[in-house]
A and B are shown apart, each in its own frame.
Chain A
């Protein structure tokens, strides 16, 4: 009589397959999902790292954030983060597209120039920031020195509340624009020449061809760039931390920086947690909105 295996071989195979993904699932559970739950719990406590104990305080932190002394910081961070996002999106999408048109010529010289324009993406933000700290310096910076030739009085780029965010965007833009260009260029190469030839035969001008063919055909790329740039720009921290530390007068105090300050400088885990949750919900809502809107307006070439 044939011996029956103790467990069905199909089950064994399924278990082995599951074991392959198990370590990842466990790690994701510990370092992503568990913290989110924990965050909600902390938001209902008065957890201060300087104290030994903590207690549940109900909605106190939520009231503080939405209807108390924390509200003005929330609104300020919201404003600054969105302004920053709009800035980085404009630079990456519009600037990237313009750069793509300028650098759209396939020869050796252009490919070297493209590499140079793309490279800042790989320069660590720390290095970029310390260089720009000097370039933008009011007294010793070379930008003000050069502007001096045009009769412009020295600008306190990073110390003036009206220019600080713009100055930070200069640094991030320097790193982002070449990336936008490269993504657009690689998509532009993929657009079939037939469309352009057909349009030319119909007498379409270069301007018309750009708006009627290039832009619609690039819409999936634009969506990709929009979503990824938007999400990463909402999470901006490093450039703010090194260049302005949220100042002057909170004019660059973005969400993540505010959360960081509460948690790591004031040790107010409770307050940091409520803001973190508010920030997370905001991210989710914006992402959902983006996908909803884009479903109707993105054109996919079959």
Chain B
């Protein structure tokens, strides 16, 4: 490969805390029982505030039971506990007994409180992670060992290469950006890491990154569906994950979940969640974030200020945006199909094509022989309002003056709890995170070629809407190389400009001779897919074998206003 990444400078980082017993996540799991009690107690109080009258609370509980019973009937998973039907049947029975008589708001005996306590306690137990140092170490070794074997076997083409250690994960995955600051901030405060999300492999990748940077394990919310698979469940548990069950949308569950995350942050456990909620179906960089879990960071910071005695320094929370940059997303064809069928409703019908065995072998062969680098960009740390922080963790305003983050929670000189205000703060933070994503995301050659090709085809068919365009037969689409080359150059120039303005970033391989950059892009864009989204035919024209997947990779550069340079 002519276009080579700048010599990898990734070095080994020393752990910032030597012994696992010092890690906040370990402290949390050591006192697991007390922590669950704590979460349940707080969630109980919060829900009581939200549903102050007896009638409101009983209605909420009835809705919860109904939904839970529906879930058990329709969609039970292997991980679901055995005693579940019995538990909810008992809750239902108690509720029926309770509502048999009219509710008296002045009564002292409040059965519904006890029922709510029972429910949130159960939920808190379901959610809680179970971090064990021994299995953490074991899982870490396993991941490293096998990745290294795979890499060496494929990269060094000699017999016996599988046992070599010439390549490690650090050669394959580049970590760029504010690494030093992140390590500093992790010593001074609590980190809430918020990465972009495009693949199921992200969780494992980011887990490795955290370890490689010498940071203690983070707690993070992982979809309960992942725990259905025993081997993954083992890794997840050992890495400090807590369980998020997306089937449960009832109020007691959601509040318990938020309370778990919030209290853990408040207690100083570094945390991680994907604020986009799920993988980006369309392939774009996240534009809208889920505010639920993000709001727990704001709330935790307020509580820390509220509960810090005078003279003590309150522990600060730092939000660190991270983008994961890929040439290739394993699930791309399925994701974009999902996206298109939701967006197009009945105008679009995904085709059902089965993989033949020839294609399957082809896929496996490519997977092991071709390199496809991944880069992870660590953004600059933010406070919970989205202000940049310096190396010391001080929040800075646009002019570089130091801001006291505590002031955001003051009203008339006092820290006040104002839910609506904090919701607004969370919304503002989410917008800042989105802007940072666009700024730190590294544009790869593969993103460039995919974007340019798709936009050129769109321009050639100005009368067609997206679905019309996607319905065109792939054989009819072809671009002259000289024209394609010129456009790539123009768009690349604009990406340079955006980088200068601090609005975008790109990989070092995007520089240099445009022909080489294009070749690098074509070789890498979605290179493991059975049908290549973009390639050059024998005549030297640019063609596609799968326009939908090309659209997916193209979307990574949507949001930078590059369309007008086509």
Is B one of A's binding partners? no
**Chain A interface (Cβ < 8 Å from any Cβ of B):** none
